[in-house]
A and B are shown apart, each in its own frame.
Chain A
């Protein structure tokens, strides 16, 4: 298996697919008018249609301060327009730090960060997501923990006077996650590992 690199360890920019595709001219053929109705059925993005594009989310977004392309308002507008492919393939979708400042400050009560999460989930179902999430999911399925905790650390707990770490139950976790759509990507990963 590929060596594990935790979320907290610095990795190179791992964002997938199309770079900064938010500013390209819109073609009529890209528009899927039903997309927004798909979205408002999902938990977290029910209030998407209430967005009136005031821009509070973007102006308060800490990430937007240092990125030319992370713009929550733009993402929401594109989602409402029905630019499904473009939104789901955009690298900027993954820049949100999920600090929830936008959600708490939206004057229309749109859960902005949750709309972004719904869009990320849809992208992930299609197999578009940064490597870091695959690593973490793999680790959860194998040990229960999102990071592979080195044996040395587990042993060190004793000398530090800490009680043993509670064990994960991988079999039970896998059973509970049966039927979850995203897991198909993890199964594929498992297969390719077996072949290697």
Chain B
């Protein structure tokens, strides 16, 4: 198994709300030979503040990249929002010298400098590119051939394409391939690439819940046994709100929402209790 070493960038939402994602991701990555080093210091990637101040976002993201450069390690993130932001800023600042100097002027105040020497990857990308689908298949000891699931890759893992630059946002394969590597079947459903609604929470909850409901109803139509996510926000949107949506719209879904590393962990033979299945709001015990 090829070995690789990354600085793990947890972001804010993962430690705040979805420890199941972190627990299962750490277990799975370690098992597959990816070494994780903790960030020496942390601040938000900047994405949540981009709507009010692009400059703040650039500075916050550049700070994290500069911290990683000091450690001499590439970054792995669990949250596609963090991955997208850090990637985008890494690309922009590497290419735009004037902007780089402007941002470095801000970082200088705290003894940091963006040099452009590292890369940023999301966990799905590390699993696909560093570990490799074939090696994942080889590591599977308990193929999940009885499971039929649906995938939700989310927006920020792949969009905007110009800055993210891998896979195809209109016909994404990355999560599908990772799911199929576990032996499970990945079902097609209507509007697979649509937004979960999470970014609208706090501005218009009504719109957010309607978007999540659309997704859940499309997943239900194909009788998926679970919905697999690879994003902290998408997971919160579905798992935390499924009961609320059921009440609000007087419907029944009962679809467990799993973090992809939980699914992979099962296939790798890790015990469900070690993969934090008990942290999920929608009961997933029927899958185990």
Listed in ascending order, the chain A residues whose CB lies under 8 Å from chain B are 6-15, 43-44, 62-63, 65-67, 94-95, 97-101, 103-104, 111, 113, 117-118, 120-121, 124, 129-130, 132-133, 136-137, 140, 144-147, 149, 153, 156-157, 160-169, 171-173, 175-183
B39 within 8 A of A: yes
**Cα of A79 to Cα of B276 in the assembled complex, Å:** 48
Q: Is the CB of A176 within 8 A of B110?
A: yes
Beyond the given A101-B159, A146-B12, A183-B53, please list 13 additional residue pairs across the A-B interface where CB-CB is below 8 A: A8-B13, A12-B205, A44-B54, A65-B211, A94-B203, A104-B169, A121-B51, A144-B43, A164-B38, A166-B41, A179-B106, A181-B55, A182-B53
Residues of A within 8 A of B210 (CB): 65-66
Given contacts A97-B200, A120-B51, A168-B42, contact A182 B106 (CB under 8 A): no
User: Given A103-B159, A162-B23, A176-B112, A66 and B207 touching (CB < 8 A)?
Assistant: yes
Interface flag for B63 (CB, 8 Å): yes
Whole-angstrom distance from the CB of B142 to the nearest CB of chain A?
Answer: 22
A43 touches B54 (CB 8 A): yes
Does the CB pair A145–B16 fall under 8 Å? yes
- When the two chains form their complex, are residues B13 and A100 in contact, meaning their CB atoms are under 8 A apart? no
Question: Which 9 A-B residue pairings sit nearest by Cβ, starting from the closest?
Answer: A182-B53, A100-B159, A124-B52, A166-B42, A172-B110, A97-B199, A132-B202, A144-B43, A175-B109
How distant is the Cα of A39 from the Cα of B156 in the complex, in angstroms? 25
5 sampled A-B residue pairs with Cβ under 8 A: A10-B201, A133-B52, A144-B43, A146-B49, A164-B38
Interface size class of B (residues with CB under 8 A): 35 or more
**How far is the CB of B66 from the nearest CB of chain A, in Å?**
10
Known: A8-B13, A14-B203, A44-B54. A176 touches B63 (CB 8 A): yes
Flag if B15 contacts A176 (CB, 8 Å): no
Residue B2 is within 8 A (CB to CB) of chain A in the complex:
no
Give the A-B contact count at a CB cut-off of 8 A: 211
A104–B201 Cα gap in the complex (Å)? 23
Q: Are B195 and A62 in contact (CB under 8 A)?
A: yes
Contact check, A95 vs B51: say whether CB atoms are below 8 A apart: no
A166-B10, A172-B110 known; A137+B42 contact, CB < 8 A: no
Is the Cβ of A163 less than 8 Å from the Cβ of B161?
A: no
CB of B195 to closest CB in A, whole Å: 4
Complexed CA–CA distance, A66 and B236 (Å): 21
Q: How far is the CA of A103 from the CA of B206 in the complex (A)?
A: 24
Contacts A67-B207, A100-B159, A137-B49 given; does A153 touch B10 at CB 8 Å? no
Q: A8-B17, A113-B160, A149-B15 are in contact. Are A100 and B56 (CB under 8 A)?
A: no
Residues 87-108 (chain B) with a chain A CB within 8 angstroms? 92, 99, 106-107
- Report chain B residues within 8 Å CB of A95: 200, 203-204, 207
Contacts of B211 in A (CB 8 A): 62-63, 65-66, 97
Check B159–A133 contact: CB distance below 8 A.
no
Q: Point out the residue from A67, A98, A182 that lies within 8 Å of B204, measured CB to CB.
A: A67
